Amino acid sequence: MSEPVTLLLDVPSGWSGHWAGPLREYLPHARLIGQEDAAAEAARIDYLVTFRPRKGLLASLANLKAVFCLGAGVDGILADPDFPRDLPLMRFVDRSLSRELAQYVVMHVLIFHRGQRYFDAAQAMNKWRQRPLVRRTEDTRIGILGLGEIGTMCAERLRDLDFVVTGWSRSRKSVAGVESFAGAGELAPFLARSDILVCLLPLTAETLGILNAKTFALLPKGAFVINAARGGHLVEADLVDAIDRGHLAGATLDVFQHEPLPAESVLWNHPKITVTPHIAAITDPRAAARAISEGVAAIERGEPAPHRVDIARGY
């Protein structure tokens, strides 16, 4: 009989219960190792399950067959200089994750579009202040940076609410009712027609700092920005400057240069910025365990696992 495979679940101990149950359910014959036993078991670990590996961990795992990322974005793993460039890396792709992110994006688009902050402020003063929409829905153009798994579902949901939706990606897309812009050459015209800009790109060498002063200057005056991708996409000082000068109307940010967002960050108390703590879409442990079990089974059969990351491309 073949040896059971060994998986290292690299999540802080407070979270391991959350993930371990579903992994045991979907991989009943595997040996599941927690962070606390990683050093003692290093040579026997076949598969690493992680989101942002602790420094030095990858270097200590000499016999890894593959890494499974607990999230959609693999930047935290690829940033580790010890990640072997030829090792299979799988990311998490699931309808449940896209759906959660689409809910987050739709909610924050609507909070801005419907002027909800104005009504919250009026309620706080016991004031009955009626006001029409600032811009009609069918005249509101939403631009989505990144028309991949998640961006596409967001685009479809917003299109179904009658917004004018466009998407920007590397390759041209065909999504019903959504205009597709592709490549660096089409970024400027895409931005020029984005009253609300939503970032759902992976963080790569090409997209690092893409939300910067130059980008904001290309957006129409009064545009609103939602960043639910990675903090590295945004030059935070440029955003605050563009809002304070009145060029941008405001922003919703779920991700930050430094997480947790430091208590002294000006973003916390900015009156036109909404801050959420990287919760736009949280991986469902059962869905992740199912995907990992399918990936492990494929690799053990000598086949490629689904959702393998193209390391050279970075996503």
Q: Determine if 73 is a binding residue for ligand GLV (CB under 6 A).
A: yes
Q: Determine if 22 is a binding residue for ligand GLV (CB under 6 A).
A: no
Q: Determine if 146 is a binding residue for ligand GLV (CB under 6 A).
A: no
Q: Determine if 225 is a binding residue for ligand GLV (CB under 6 A).
A: no
Could you tell which of ligand GLV, ligand NAP, none binds residue 147, using a CB distance below 5 to 8 A set by kind?
Answer: ligand NAP
Residue type, 16: S
Q: Which of 53, 88, 202, 285 binds ligand NAP (CB under 6 A)?
A: 202
CA distance linking residue 154 with residue 261, whole number of Å: 25
The answer to whether 236 touches 256, Cβ cutoff 8 Å, is yes
Could you tell which of ligand GLV, ligand NAP, none binds residue 57, using a CB distance below 5 to 8 A set by kind?
Answer: none
Assess whether 230 carries a catalytic annotation: yes
Which is the catalytic residue, given 113, 230, 233, 307?
A: 230
User: Which range touches ligand GLV (CB under 6 A), out of 8-16, 69-77, 109-117, 234-242?
Assistant: 69-77
Beta pairing, strands 47-50 & 31-34? unpaired
Crossing angle, helix 13-26 and helix 285-300, to 10 degrees? 60
CB of 151 to ligand NAP, least distance (A): 5
CB of 314 to ligand GLV, least distance (A): 13
What sign has the CA pseudo-torsion 125, 131, 134, 135? positive
CB of 234 to ligand NAP, least distance (A): 12
User: Which range touches ligand NAP (CB under 6 A), out of 40-48, 136-144, 222-230, 256-264?
Assistant: 222-230
* Contact partners, residue 272, CB within 8 Å, separation at least 6: 243, 249, 250, 251
Tokens at residue 291, please? Answer: 């995907």
Assess whether 258 carries a catalytic annotation: no
Which is the catalytic residue, given 278, 286, 290, 308?
A: 278
Distance from chain centroid for Cα 168: 16
Residue from 94, 5, 85 nearest 301 by CA: 5
**Chain residues 223-242 in contact with ligand NAP, contact rule CB under 6 A:** 228-230
Residue from 230, 277, 179 nearest 52 by CA: 230
Q: Determine if 278 is a binding residue for ligand NAP (CB under 6 A).
A: yes
**Chain residues 41-100 in contact with ligand NAP, contact rule CB under 6 A:** 71-73, 93, 97
- Total binding residues toward ligand GLV, as defined by CB under 6 A: 4
Could you tell which of ligand GLV, ligand NAP, none binds residue 169, using a CB distance below 5 to 8 A set by kind?
Answer: ligand NAP
Give the Å distances, CA to CA, from 18 to 21, 92, 278: 7, 17, 18
Q: Determine if 151 is a binding residue for ligand GLV (CB under 6 A).
A: no
The 10 Å CB-count burial string (b at 16+, else e) for 207-231 is beebbbeebbeebeeebbbbbbbbb
The 10 Å CB-count burial string (b at 16+, else e) for 43-64 is eebbbbbbbbbeeebbeebeeb
Residue positions annotated with a catalytic role: 230, 278
Binding residues for ligand GLV, rule: CB under 6 A, are 71-73, 283
Residues within the interface to ligand NAP (CB under 6 A): 71-73, 93, 97, 101, 146-151, 168-171, 200-204, 206-207, 228-230, 254-255, 278, 280-281, 315
